[in-house]
Amino acid sequence: MRESGVWTLFLALERDSPSLLIMNIWIFIGKYWGDIVTVIGLALTIWVGFQAKSAAKAAKEASETAREEVRQELSRIDLERAGALIQR
């Protein structure tokens, strides 16, 4: 009976045959290429999603900081104008 899949990798390790191990790795990759690419794609999608979420949070914080600075500047300008009107 011929072994396939992951078990061929273990059999190659038991025999300490580097060339057989490499060959079996290529066979494994060839058989399960679609599954491997799917898992890698899912992992990349999740990672990109977390990066986008982090970027969105940073942009939101930056916009809130800028908005607060504009409010403070407008308040300062209003107080200066009020002071100028009072001095007249």
pLDDT at residue number 1: 45
Query: What is the C-alpha end-to-end distance of the chain, expressed in Å?
Result: 104
pLDDT at residue number 69: 95
In 3-state terms the chain splits into helix, strand, coil percentages (rounded to 5) of 90, 0, 10
Task: Determine contact, residues 35/43, Cβ cutoff 8 Å.
Answer: no
Residues in CB range of 9: below 8 A, 6 or more apart: 21, 24, 25, 28
Indicate yes or no: pTM above 0.95.
no
Question: pLDDT digits over 30-44, tens only?
Answer: 888 899 899 999 999
Distance CA 22, CA 33 (A): 16
